[in-house]
Amino acid sequence: MAIPKETVEQILQASHIEEVVGEFVTLKKRGSNLWGNCPFHNEKTPSFSVNPARNIFKCFGCGKAGDSAKFLMEHEHYTYPEALRYLAKKYNIKIEEREQTAEEIMLQTVREKMFNINEFADKYFVDTMWNTEEGRNIGLEYFRERGYLNPIIEKFHLGYNPDSTHWDAFTEHAKKNGYSEELLEQIGLSIKGQKGLYDRYHGRVMFPIHSLTGRVIGFGGRILVNDKKSPKYQNSPESEIYDKKQTLYGIYFAKNAIAKQDECILVEGYFDVLRMHQIGIENVVASSGTSLTIEQIRLVKRYTKNITMLYDGDAAGIHAALRGTDMILAEGMNVRVVVLPPEHDPDTFGKDYSAEYVSNYLKENAKDFVRFKTELLLKDAENDPIKRGQVIRDIVETISVIPDNIFRITYVKECSRLLDMPEQALTNELNKLLRAKYRKELGQEGDVVTETTTPQPKQEDDIEDQLPAGYYQERELVKLLLMYGKETIVDQRIDENNETVYEQVSVAQFIVDDLKMDGFQFTNVVNKKIFDIFDQAIDAGQIPDDQFFVSNEDETIAQLAADLLSSPYKLDQWEKYGIFVKREENMLRTTILSSLFRYKDLIIEERRKDIEEELKSADDLADQLILLKQKKDLDEIRRQINERLGIVIAR
């Protein structure tokens, strides 16, 4: 469906980047920008910045940058229209929906179709549970029996898929509403049997699985009868919109609480999540079925560095708690473990005890993971010296994955006490492991590793050598155009009567005219494109603002604009270059003048060098004269520029 251009502009203008990004990344204010850990690459210290004034984000670590729509496209893997629709919804902007043409429907992406059918199914399951006799008597009754109240059932969109004679109540309903058999099978709501398509979840209560943004990406269905042949839980197969290893059940409902409380409680099942929410503990998610993945850990890490694992008190639960924790530690996060009394899981525990009792229990019993593991393994080993040795190696292995050296030292101290072993012995063991790891990472062979050496950083010069002359100077001018293009400065020039006249011009016009007057042209393609846009806009009398470039349909322009607008402009940096201003002038004008000067001076200098080179090899006198003339012209241009820009350069 096409969104009218005016609506697109309206949406982008209404969107506040800090609010859009803030849904996914915990941001802290520092200076005029907000900072957080980049969601696109793994990092320990925030290099991901959000600039509310410019309405853009930029990561100084991995370079991703852009406006609100770009962020959603990168982060949620939305298409551009999907991102706009998301923003429109968020900011209550009505998109004029018109009937889709057959062609548009064809073009609708598979992903969009999948989201649509899931939404349709979600509504159907909820509606069936509340508004049919079977739904109320079987589905709703089941949740009620387990002690779930309406608010939680409604919040999580719990539902019911009826158990009709041919197991096809939902499938038929979907087909009647125009959904294709192919899509139904693809998304896994229906299964192809001998007699045709039937409901995957017939006779099950339904748990929709939501993405971070609250869209239904899959379902879990729980069986209600005792049937050994059928699994207790049926889950959606993976699809274009459902990637199990990237999904945490409940994250949409928990993310704000996780960020606010700076802690994420990790449980195993759907009901554990529901129960905790019902008793008011909302920073809870479940890995549901799969063992914890690195992607899930990073999902949590966007909101907090603290994970508390809440597991059943039985042996299986404790075993599950041990799994995956090294991965969390390796991400530089803090892990704590709470083990429930043996007869309980989080669901039953929350049912039997008051909310206050549960939260106190969590507070009092949360144990640092390294300590938890040490105590647990020690209990197993008792007085068996061989097992004890294994425990020590096991613990040291765990400590070795922690990226922060200070934490490692703290843990060595603690374990030395718990294991009743000298600290130095543990440290030696740890260093042995660390060296082995380091070797492996470097891909080196051999046994001897001497001092740790830092790899030589790539020389800046190497990079600069490959860049065309004036690369940075061009960028600087483009940056000034983008940042201050619409602002006005006073231009002074000498008129026909040899009198100095002052006039107000836009920065864009000032820069563009100045470059054109001396016949300078940007060499970089994107810079040139931006220059041309300004050039034409000046003629048309309407200078575009920064948003126009940041949200430009030309990807390369949008990216460069976001890049350049992200870093603040240091208005005083010209002093560093030994440039001194003759008169008191406003900073902006001075900066523009010095930038123009540096750019032109450099280009001219390059050209002069070329000419001198050519002169050396020019045998022909005529050639030599031409070259000498060119050189003289250049010097003259330089002198004029010098004079006009009113700057003295220290050389």
Binding site for Zn ion (CB under 5 A): 38, 40-41, 59, 61-62
Shortest distance, position 302 Cβ to Zn ion, whole Å: 12
CB-based burial, 412-442: b 16+ in 10 Å, e otherwise? bebbbeebeeeeeebbebbeebbeeeeeeee
Residue 72 or 537 having the CB closest to Zn ion: 72
Shortest distance, position 49 Cβ to Zn ion, whole Å: 10
Q: How far apart are CA 489 and CA 509, in angstroms?
A: 10
Distances in Å between the Cα of 502 and the Cα atoms of 166, 445, 644 are 86, 72, 13
Continuous segment of H or E residues that includes residue 130: helix 110-131
Residue 40 or 130 having the CB closest to Zn ion: 40
DSSP reduced 3-state for 221: strand
First to last CA, the chain: 60
φ, ψ of residue 90 to 5 degrees: the values are -60, -40
Shortest distance, position 60 Cβ to Zn ion, whole Å: 8
Shortest distance, position 566 Cβ to Zn ion, whole Å: 12
Shortest distance, position 47 Cβ to Zn ion, whole Å: 6
For residue 451, give the amino acid letter. E
Scanning 334-486, the segments in alpha helix (DSSP H) are 346-352, 355-365, 369-381, 385-400, 405-419, 423-442, 460-466, 471-484
Shortest distance, position 65 Cβ to Zn ion, whole Å: 9
Q: CA nearest 38: which of 54, 25, 52?
A: 25
CB count in 10 Å sphere of residue 411: 24
CB-based burial, 548-578: b 16+ in 10 Å, e otherwise? bbbbbeeeebbbbbbbbbbeebeeeebeeee
Shortest distance, position 41 Cβ to Zn ion, whole Å: 4
Residue 59 or 169 having the CB closest to Zn ion: 59
Residue 30 or 41 having the CB closest to Zn ion: 41
Continuous segment of H or E residues that includes residue 507: helix 507-517
Shortest distance, position 563 Cβ to Zn ion, whole Å: 13
Q: CA nearest 276: which of 362, 213, 215?
A: 362
Q: Which two tokens stand for residue 31?
A: 């200076």
Q: What's 576's DSSP letter?
A: G
Q: How far apart are CA 580 and CA 598, in angstroms?
A: 12
Residue 305 or 600 having the CB closest to Zn ion: 305
Q: How far apart are CA 273 and CA 491, in angstroms?
A: 65
Shortest distance, position 38 Cβ to Zn ion, whole Å: 3
Q: How far apart are CA 221 and CA 158, in angstroms?
A: 10
Q: Under a CB-based contact definition with an 8 Å cutoff, are residues 218 and 236 in contact? A: yes
Shortest distance, position 5 Cβ to Zn ion, whole Å: 31
DSSP reduced 3-state for 197: strand
Residue 37 or 551 having the CB closest to Zn ion: 37
Shortest distance, position 536 Cβ to Zn ion, whole Å: 34
Residue 61 or 332 having the CB closest to Zn ion: 61
The β-bridge partners of 219 are 208
Shortest distance, position 40 Cβ to Zn ion, whole Å: 5
Shortest distance, position 482 Cβ to Zn ion, whole Å: 22
Place of tokens 């009743």: 420
Sign of CA dihedral 323, 327, 328, 333: positive
Residue 294 or 618 having the CB closest to Zn ion: 294
Residue 65 or 581 having the CB closest to Zn ion: 65
Residue 57 or 311 having the CB closest to Zn ion: 57
Tell me the angle at which helices 385-400 and 423-442 cross, rounded to the nearest 10 degrees. Answer: 50
Shortest distance, position 20 Cβ to Zn ion, whole Å: 17
Continuous segment of H or E residues that includes residue 33: strand 33-36
Residue 48 or 520 having the CB closest to Zn ion: 48
Shortest distance, position 282 Cβ to Zn ion, whole Å: 29
**Full DSSP string of 545-571:** -HHHHHT-SSHHHHHHHHHHHHSPP-T
Residue 46 or 220 having the CB closest to Zn ion: 46
Q: State the virtual CA torsion across 405, 411, 417, 420 in degrees, nearest 10.
A: -80
For residue 142, give the amino acid letter. Y
Residue 59 or 561 having the CB closest to Zn ion: 59
In sequence order, the 6+-apart residues with CB closer than 8 A to the CB of 422 are 416
Shortest distance, position 39 Cβ to Zn ion, whole Å: 8
Three-state SS string over 397-429 comes to: HHHHCCCCHHHHHHHHHHHHHHHCCCHHHHHHH
Q: CA nearest 569: which of 542, 590, 548, 549?
A: 590
Residue 59 or 273 having the CB closest to Zn ion: 59
Residue 57 or 249 having the CB closest to Zn ion: 57
Residue 62 or 105 having the CB closest to Zn ion: 62
